Homo-oligomer: A and B are copies of this chain.
Amino acid sequence: VEAAIRELHYRPNAFARGLMLRKSGIVGLVLPDLHGEFYSEIIRGANSQAREMRRNLLVSSALPGENAESWLSDFGQRGLVDGLVVMVSDTMASGIGATLAGLNLPIVMLDDEIDGVEHDAVVIDQRQGALAMMRHLVENRGAKNIVFVGGPETNIDTQARYAAYCATLKSSGLKFSKSNVHFLDFTYDSAYKLALENVNRWTGPHHFIFAANDEMAAGIIAGAIAKNVSVPGEIGVVGFDDTRVARMTNPRLTTVRVPMSRMGAQAVELLCQRIDDPERPEARIALEA
């Protein structure tokens, strides 16, 4: 038989197999967006772990203006994937939770959780990371004034980092000012523009800018330099994520390392474990920033 298999190049048919086993060997990875190094690294980690687990990886991100929920439920119920790794990121998209619950599929949430539904999760301890950064600015660098530049206000990462920002200001007796808080879109260009308009107001001894990702931090640095403001001489800028851009700014960026590819890998590992053993208790892995 083995000889015949080789001779005829026999390969079991995936559909017939799936029909009996109710398994495809495919795990889905659903991301809110595919732009930038953050998502790219998650895919890379997920791919590598999927290969390790002998699974295939189906990647998908909703197009802007598309009804992600109806697509997701349709897609999930056709049985093509054995489970899903889902990242939502936007706190406005609360309907997704109910949709996922209705799928009756193993789900691993990335960087988020949904109530009332059994699912595994991989989260990054962002609060701790953001607190560490803020503490660093206040305690080691004697920060007197810190500007916060976030992504969209409804973004879950922005919220976590903003909360740590507020908490640290309070606990260290620094004054909070609404005019020190800006919500952008995580891009270099918008941060660059913001810096052009505001950097003169921002500068001062022991003044810092805490950007919610590295790309915006890089944009702010470039904007400051364009306005002849010296970084870190007249103002300090720090970022978040530790993407490759953090090594490319001049000076190199102080940032918070987020294990992006590990997130993807861990999520896929958790998912495959649960597919193999549906009875396993819920797991929630927190990765350190």
Contact = CB atoms under 8 A, between A and B. Distances in A.
A218 interface: yes
Question: Which residue among A26, A40, A189 has the maximum number of chain B CB atoms within 10 Å of its CB?
Answer: A40
A229 to B, nearest CB: 13
Interface in A206-259: 215, 218, 222, 225, 244-245, 247-250
A16 interface: yes
Contact of A60 (B51, B66, B225): B51
A244 B245 CA distance: 9
Nearest to A102: B9
A41 B80 CA distance: 26
Chain A, interface size: which category? 35 or more
A43 B15 contact: no
Nearest to A64: B48
A15 B18 contact: yes
Contacts of A278: none
Nearest to A56: B58
Nearest to A28: B56
Contacts of A75: 56
